[in-house]
Structure 1
Amino acid sequence: MQEPLIVLLGTTAVGKTELSLELAKELDAEIISGDSMQVYKGMDIGTAKLAPEKREKIPHHMLDILSPEEEFSVADFQARVDELIPEIIERGKVPLLVGGTALYLKALIQGFIFPEMETDWELRERLEKEAEEKGTEYVHQKLAEVDPQLAQKLHPNDLRRVIRGIEVYRQTGKTSTYFKKQAQKRPPRYQALKIGLKRDRKEIYQRINQRVDKMIKQGLVEEVKGLYQAGYDRDLVSMQGLGYKEIIGYLEGEYDLEEAIRLIKRNTRHFAKRQLTWFRKDEEINWFKVAKYEIEGLVTEIITLVKNNFNFEQLKKLNLQ
């Protein structure tokens, strides 16, 4: 029997966090964060991380597990959560995955095949130097020669993924596209019930703007300044997160704070739009329009959906009968 998993997803600022706490209480669940940036310590305001005092009664996982200088990949996420889910179920709790990083959710549920390989730092440094001296197009062309399908999907400026594609081929003799196709042949790895929250686009954009203003008042600039002064610069994966890269631009004198705030809002709106495009492709998502409900009514509807989608033995195992 596949292990059951409840997934709460939706665009940034749609209201997942508040609802997840209410669902967790009703389902006796433990929450797994599916956010690619909340794994980092010290990055709290910009990632909209739930305050520690608000997660005291409900166990939360995949928060504050890495320092900002460490890389964290979709393969790392899949491996860690694969260990967490059976542990949560063994405790008689419900695994509730909450997040908006669509690639992470897809990797966990559908499964990606990740080649066994060591990081080739020498290759990475050489390709980065070539990109600096000859341009990102030059390195992108190298990827196109070995994995044209991946190259077609990646912009030359997405240097990290371009280099990764070359690295996979150099070490395994097979392309990233090959590994992706192999994964698509496999059945889902979990019996996942996907619950999606949505709001009108205008409302989402308004909530994004309000949230960014709130982050600034809470001290986002000071948070980023502290990380920057500690040596965490904009080249790190962690510092490419929304809110962080824009504030670093302000700290380095590229523009004023007003422009940094404008860029955060704009880039977050663009991110929400990309999230929605990705989620729309998934026909397994059960969508709920948040504005139609009071939160108690929304929780009731979702609990009913959960009970209707797991058989008796699973409900018994999850303490939901």
Structure 2
Amino acid sequence: MPRGLIVVCGATATGKTALALEIAQSINSIIISADSRQVYREFDIGTAKVTGSERELIPHYLIDICEPTETLTLAEYQEQAQNLVKSNITEFPLLVGGTGLYIKSIVKGLKIPRVSPQPQLRLQLQDLGQQQCYQIFKQVDPVGSEKIHVNDQVRTLRALEVFYATGIPISQQQGENPPSYPIIQIGLDCSSEELKKRIVERTKKMIEMGLIEEVEKLVKKYGWDLPLLKTLGYAEIINYLRGKLSLPEAEKEIISHTRQFAKRQRTWFRAYPEIEWFDTTSSNLVEEVLSKLEKSLTRLN
């Protein structure tokens, strides 16, 4: 078991990677990624994946562990991350990223039904329509249906999928089992205007680094309909390559959609009072965070 876990979280473009590298070097630790797209190989520039040189500085885990044609479930991610945390590679591993559900699955110890996707069942349920599916859901799991909106097709289908695969309502299979080791959570944030500036700069940098060429290569290898190519940063470039958008329009849409995404991330993380927030624009950010960690780690000794 580790002596503790350090979480570095926050919205996209707030500087989590840079800070985590500084912390990991300072305390001789490792980094476990909590990014739902960086688990996939070949999706590099558009996901702001850490570089090879950064990985040489500090061991990184749960990056490039899946083929783009595969699907990593939350349960699979949680199991792999928990095993890494418990492996005693280091006393205080760092869990770093902006995928709130990934982080929550570890720090809260979410109980997740181990039911893999059932494509054929989903197709049959989708043919029934959302209204009919939700009525079935209410019949088999009245408790669970109260927590899911009547128009939430994704969660309704998942709930029915779990029920038909196990015979047990999803509400009876969920809950939390928090880990026994202490967790220190560091959040990075800044003003909306500063975040917008960072997102603009990052988007331009991605295009300069070869985002268009990356997407062209992925399309050539996997085709236009690969689900990952419909995600943020890739979908807009796909529309550019198909002639639906000019490059300036695609760039503008990436910026707009990234800002919307960042807003949702900020809302998610702000709901957790245990996160201690730091201003990413502070000239003494690293020192401030390391001072906080030193005090917290000292209390654990």
Give the alignment's TM-score, normalised by structure 2: 0.89
Partner residue of 2:196?
205
Alpha-carbon distance in 1 for matches of 2:12, 2:3: 27
Change (3 A) 1:189 1:69: farther
Alpha-carbon distance in 2 for matches of 1:299, 1:178: 43
Return the match for 1:256 from 220, 225, 246: 246
Change (3 A) 1:27 1:37: same
Change (3 A) 1:145 1:222: farther
- Could you tell which deviates more after superposition, 104-113 or 246-255? 246-255
Are the counterparts in 1 of residues 5 and 95 from structure 2 also a CA contact under 8 Å?
Answer: yes
Partner residue of 1:98?
96
Whether 1:299 and 2:286 are equivalent positions in the alignment is: yes
Change (3 A) 1:119 1:275: closer
Alpha-carbon distance in 2 for matches of 1:206, 1:74: 32
Partner residue of 2:208?
217
- Unaligned stretches of 5+ residues in structure 1: 316-321
How far off its partner does 1:239 sit? 2.7
Are the counterparts in 2 of residues 112 and 179 from structure 1 also a CA contact under 8 Å?
Answer: no
Q: Percent identity?
A: 38
Alpha-carbon distance in 2 for matches of 1:188, 1:274: 26
Whether 1:155 and 2:152 are equivalent positions in the alignment is: yes
Partner residue of 2:229?
239
CA displacement 1:220-243 (0-9 Å, x = unmatched) = 11111211221254452x334311
Are the counterparts in 2 of residues 144 and 152 from structure 1 also a CA contact under 8 Å?
Answer: no
Q: Aligned residue pairs: how many?
A: 298
Partner residue of 2:47?
47
Partner residue of 2:19?
19
Are the counterparts in 2 of residues 111 and 189 from structure 1 also a CA contact under 8 Å?
Answer: no
RMSD across aligned C-alpha pairs, in angstroms? 2.4
Change (3 A) 1:85 1:170: same
Q: Which one-letter code corresponds to 2:278 in the other structure?
A: F
Change (3 A) 1:302 1:260: same
Q: Which one-letter code corresponds to 1:100 in the other structure?
A: G
Return the match for 1:195 from 186, 200, 204: 186
Alpha-carbon distance in 1 for matches of 2:57, 2:119: 42
Partner residue of 1:272?
262
Alpha-carbon distance in 2 for matches of 1:142, 1:151: 13
How far off its partner does 1:271 sit? 0.7
Alpha-carbon distance in 1 for matches of 2:130, 2:221: 29
Are the counterparts in 2 of residues 143 and 151 from structure 1 also a CA contact under 8 Å?
Answer: no
2:58 counterpart SS class: coil
How far off its partner does 1:253 sit? 3.7
Alpha-carbon distance in 2 for matches of 1:275, 1:247: 23
Change (3 A) 1:203 1:138: farther
Are the counterparts in 1 of residues 4 and 91 from structure 2 also a CA contact under 8 Å?
Answer: no
Are the counterparts in 2 of residues 195 and 287 from structure 1 also a CA contact under 8 Å?
Answer: yes
Q: Which one-letter code corresponds to 1:201 in the other structure?
A: S
How far off its partner does 1:311 sit? 5.1
Alpha-carbon distance in 1 for matches of 2:230, 2:108: 27
CA displacement 1:179-235 (0-9 Å, x = unmatched) = 33x32xx34454210001110011101111111111111111111121122125445
Write out the 4+ residue segments of structure 1 that deviate beyond 6 Å after TM superposition: none
Partner residue of 2:75?
75
Change (3 A) 1:63 1:141: same
How far off its partner does 1:74 sit? 1.5
- Unaligned stretches of 5+ residues in structure 2: none
- Could you tell which deviates more after superposition, 101-110 or 300-309? 300-309
2:30 counterpart SS class: strand
